[in-house]
Amino acid sequence: MGRFVLLGQHIGYSASPAMQNAAFAALGLPHRYELADIPVVDLPTALAALRHGEDLGGNVTTPHKLAVAELVDEMDDGAARVGAVNTVVRRDGALVGLNTDLPAMVDAVMALRPNARHAVVLGGGGAGRAVLLALEDAGARRVTRVSRDDWSDIPQLLADADLLVNATPIGTGSHETPVPAELLRRDLAVLDLVYRPSPTRLVLDARAAGAPARGGAGILLGQGWRSLEAWLGVPAPIEVMRQALRIELGESADV
């Protein structure tokens, strides 16, 4: 039996254990996937456990993606491009940092608004960096990133945008939204990386305005099955993982 962990802080909301443990069961493996809610100061200890065999692999989430990129021995091309790691794999005693968020986000953008004329991205962490590159890979012609300091610019920026991406945690476990409903409209597609609740208020408001909109559950699935395949070297049971997320998040989840 081996353990895989999700490294982050305040991550009790995560649906990753339900998804990954369902996958291990479907593959007939005795592994388990658990949350490791730890402060930044404990990251070196957590990475040492991955390196020396106490844990077999891990995922990384807020706020540790950038810090873990500085602690692994090497990174794949995706993680190097983003400068952030969301998956750690042990190979021959070395820790390799991957970024499976990036291809999952590319898939989501391509399904929702490929070749966006103007995409507005809210948020500036590791997820925000991955979104910028995903938009580039999906053919976006112009991308504007908005930090909290520039929140007052949102109405003006959205006026000529055709894609809005929420890469902040706003809305997680609540009915909050980063954007007032009156700023949403039919020709402004919305991608919200938040997946709990699913759908979020932002997604519901966008759909009420007649816009195409999706939450982050599909991205969670996309990065999750890629992580599993990197750890184990076998095809992931994607449909099992999808169904586990629907059970965990509700049938309305965008997976």
Tokens representing 126 are 């590791």
Helices and strands in the chain: count of H runs, count of E runs = 10, 11
Q: Do residues 118 and 199 share a domain? A: yes
* Residue 255 domain-assigned (yes or no): no
We report the CATH number of the domain holding residue 74 as: 3.40.50.10860
- Hey, which residues does 8 pair with through a beta bridge? 37
- pLDDT for residue 126 is more than 80: no
* Residue 254 domain-assigned (yes or no): no
Q: Do residues 244 and 207 share a domain? A: no
pLDDT single digits (tens) 151-167: 999 999 999 999 999 99
* Residue 156 domain-assigned (yes or no): yes
Q: Report pLDDT for 10.
A: 93
Number of domains making up the chain? 2
Q: Do residues 116 and 27 share a domain? A: no
Helices (H), the chain: 16-26, 43-52, 65-69, 77-82, 101-112, 126-137, 154-158, 201-208, 217-232, 238-249
Q: Do residues 108 and 149 share a domain? A: yes
Q: Do residues 20 and 91 share a domain? A: yes
Q: Report pLDDT for 124.
A: 65
Q: Report pLDDT for 52.
A: 87
Q: Do residues 203 and 119 share a domain? A: yes
The average pLDDT across 85-97 equals 94
Comparing CA positions, the residue from 69, 70, 189 lying closest to residue 138 is 189
Q: Do residues 82 and 132 share a domain? A: no
Residue for token digits 């992580």? 227
C-alpha distances (whole Å) from 85 to each of 49, 190, 247 are 17, 25, 28
Q: Do residues 119 and 205 share a domain? A: yes
pLDDT-derived band of residue 176, with 50, 70 and 90 as boundaries?
very high
Q: Do residues 72 and 121 share a domain? A: no
Q: Do residues 113 and 182 share a domain? A: yes
Q: Report pLDDT for 16.
A: 98
We report the CATH number of the domain holding residue 146 as: 3.40.50.720
Range of the domain at 132: 102-215
| Type of residue found at 31 | H
Q: Do residues 9 and 92 share a domain? A: yes
The average pLDDT across 205-230 equals 98
Report yes or no: 88 and 57 within 8 Å, Cβ to Cβ. yes
Cα 115 to chain centroid distance, Å, stands at 21
Q: Do residues 181 and 116 share a domain? A: yes
pLDDT single digits (tens) 1-45: 789 999 999 999 999 999 999 999 999 999 999 999 999 999 999
Q: Which residues are catalytically annotated?
A: 65
Global pTM?
A: 0.95
Residue for token digits 């993680």? 79
